[in-house]
Amino acid sequence: MSNIHTTATKTDKELFIKMVLSNWELQISRMNNLLGKLTDAELSAQTAPGRNTGVYLLGHLAAVSDGLFILLGLGERLDPSMDEIFIRNPENSGLEKPSITEIKEYWNKVNSLLAQQISEIRTDEWFTRHTAVSQEDFEKEPHRNKLNIIINRTNHISYHLGQLTYLISK
Amino acid sequence: MSNIHTTATKTDKELFIKMVLSNWELQISRMNNLLGKLTDAELSAQTAPGRNTGVYLLGHLAAVSDGLFILLGLGERLDPSMDEIFIRNPENSGLEKPSITEIKEYWNKVNSLLAQQISEIRTDEWFTRHTAVSQEDFEKEPHRNKLNIIINRTNHISYHLGQLTYLISK
Contact B23 A162 (CB under 8 A): no
A2 within a domain of the structure (yes/no)? no
Residues in chain A with CB shorter than 8 Å from the CB of B151 are 19-20, 23, 151, 154
Torsion of CA B116, B118, B121, B123, to 10 degrees: -130
CA atoms lying within 13 Å on the CB side of residue A88: 8
Q: Whole-angstrom Cα distance, residue A101 to residue A55?
A: 10
How far is Cα B77 from Cα B74, in angstroms, rounded to an integer? 9
pLDDT at B11: 85
- With respect to residue B51, please indicate whether it lies within any of the assigned structural domains: yes
Q: In terms of pLDDT, which residue wins out, A132 or B54?
A: B54
B68-119 pLDDT, tens digit per residue, is 999 999 999 999 999 999 999 999 999 999 999 999 999 999 999 999 999 9
Tell me whether residue B4 is in a domain: no
Which chain A residue shows the shortest CA-CA distance from B170? A50
| CATH code: domain of residue B94 | 1.20.120.450
**How many domains is chain A partitioned into structurally?**
1
Taking Cα atoms as reference points, which of A115, A62, A51 lies closest to residue A85? A62
Residue B4's pLDDT is what?
44
Distance, in Å, from the CA atom of B118 to the CA atom of B149, rounded to the nearest integer, reads 12
CB proximity list for B65: less than 8 A, separation 6 or greater: B107, B110, B111, B114, B153
Angle in degrees, 0-180, between the axes of helices B100-119 and B2-37, rounded to the nearest 10: 170
For residue B19, which residues of chain A lie inside 8 Å, CB to CB? 143, 145, 147-148, 151
CA distance A53 to chain B (A): 13
**Residue A107 lies in domain:** 9-167
Question: Which of B83, B101, B102 shows the shortest CA–CA distance to B93?
Answer: B83
Q: What is the pLDDT along chain A (170 residues), one digit of tens a residue?
A: 344 444 446 688 999 999 999 999 999 999 999 999 999 999 999 999 999 999 999 999 999 999 999 999 999 999 999 999 999 999 999 999 999 999 999 999 999 999 999 999 999 999 999 989 999 999 998 999 999 999 999 999 999 999 999 999 87
Q: Is residue B3 part of a domain?
A: no
In a domain, B140, yes or no: yes
Interface contact flag, B162 A162, Cβ < 8 Å: yes
Look at A170 and B23 and tell me if their CB atoms are within 8 Å: no
pLDDT at A86 (0 to 100): 98
Is position B156 within any domain?
Answer: yes
Confidence of residue B9 (pLDDT cuts 50, 70, 90): low
Q: Is the ipTM of this complex over 0.90?
A: yes
Q: CB B27: neighbour CB atoms within 10 A?
A: 22
What is the per-residue pLDDT for B3? 42
Residue B70 forms part of a structural domain: yes
Nearest to B160, CA basis, from A99, A71, A163: A163
* For chain B, the helix, strand and coil percentages under 3-state DSSP, each to the nearest 5: 70, 0, 25
Dihedral sign computed on CA atoms, order A118, B26, B16, B66: negative
Test mutation, B133, B155, B168, chain A, max A CBs within 10 A: B155
Q: What pLDDT shows up at residue B170?
A: 78
Q: Rounded to an integer, what is the distance from CA B170 to the centroid of its chain? A: 28
Kindly list the distances between the CA atom of residue B119 and the CA atoms of B40, B74, B113, in Å, as whole numbers in the listed order: 32, 12, 10
Which DSSP symbol is given to B125?
A: G
Domain-located, residue B118? yes
Nearest chain A residue to B14, by CA? A143
Question: For residues A87 and B149, what is the distance between their CA atoms, to the nearest angstrom?
Answer: 30
CA distance B46 to chain A (A): 11
pLDDT tens string B132-149: 899 999 999 999 999 999
First CA to last CA distance, chain A: 61
What is the Cα–Cα distance from A28 to A53, expressed in whole angstroms? 19
Q: What is the pLDDT of residue A153?
A: 98
What pLDDT shows up at residue A34?
98
DSSP assigned state of A126? G
